[in-house]
Structure 1
Amino acid sequence: MTLTTPALLFPAISLLLLAYTNRFLVLAQLIRKLANEERNEHQDVNARQILLLRKRISLTKRMQLAGVMSFLLCTLSMFALFLSLQLTGMVLFGISLVSLSVSLVYSLWEIQISTNALNVQLQDIEDVLKSGAKRRSSKSSSGSGDET
């Protein structure tokens, strides 16, 4: 194993950490928006969203931690290989790959929860549309009965 092997992971891990940071920023923005809405008007859908957001924040923190650990271990692996400590470098690189895999698993889990959160929101919109359609239907049927 040469020094360039772990170096190949640097761009991938850097992009992954950037993506995780963007996810975190979007989550923070959503939480602030929900908190604002909750102050103005309590909605049941907000309570469900808050629970999902709390879980997503926790997973995002774990994703970032595992990603940073992968990056650090990859760096230490390169340093060990630079010092001609082949076995240490290979072990650190292997652990770095495991840490990167753990980060990706957390990412998949967070994506699943994110999808569930979107489904909660879509269900709320559908419920509002259905109740609005029922009200319009009952108004038009009661209005036509008075005219005859």
Structure 2
Amino acid sequence: MMTITTPALLFPAISLLLLAYTNRFLVLAQLIRQLNDREGDQVRDLAKRQIENLRQRIVLIRSMQRWGVISFLLCTLSMFSLFLNWTLAGQWCFGASLVCLLLSLLISLYEIQISCHAINIELESLENR
């Protein structure tokens, strides 16, 4: 039988995950501002490739955050359901919370791949100098 402590175990993990996602977003926003300042009116081909990469990563981070928050809400709903002794509803909410968390993590994995591609673009720029 599932108790209220089971979904409560996810709270710190989801909170830290959302914090990490927010940090990734803030770093990305800073990179975009630096790129804008560096390029000015003349945007090089390399910068255009970076812009597309950055745009895609922003969309992915927003999606990661969305699924993470939904997971957090479902986890909270699960705890509330279990508190009211609605065991089946609590179990279903917890299961849905885990699925949303899994989606968030899979999107995060894909965003990391794209981030590595962005670093390769920078390395390519260094090699061409």
Letter in 1 for 2:111: E
Structure with the bigger percentage of helix: 1
Equivalent position SS for 1:94: helix
Question: 2:101 corresponds to which residue?
Answer: 100
Question: 1:26 corresponds to which residue?
Answer: 27
**How many aligned positions are there?**
128
Structure 2: runs of 5+ lacking an equivalent: none
Asked which structure has the greater CA Rg, the reply is 1
Question: 1:38 corresponds to which residue?
Answer: 39
Q: After alignment, is 40-49 or 115-124 more displaced?
A: 40-49
Structure 1: runs of 5+ lacking an equivalent: 129-148
Q: Deviations over 1:79-134 (max 9, x none)?
A: 00000000000000000000000000010010000000000010011111xxxxxx
Confirm or deny that 1:70 pairs with 2:68: no
Q: 1:42: how far off?
A: 2.5
Confirm or deny that 1:17 pairs with 2:4: no
Q: Deviations over 1:15-49 (max 9, x none)?
A: 00000000000000011111112215432110000
Higher relative contact order (CA 8 A, sep 6+): 2
Distance 1:88 1:78 in 2: 10
Confirm or deny that 1:125 pairs with 2:120: no
Q: What percentage of aligned pairs have identical amino acids?
A: 62
CA RMSD in angstroms, aligned pairs only:
0.8
Letter in 2 for 1:66: W
Equivalent position SS for 2:40: helix
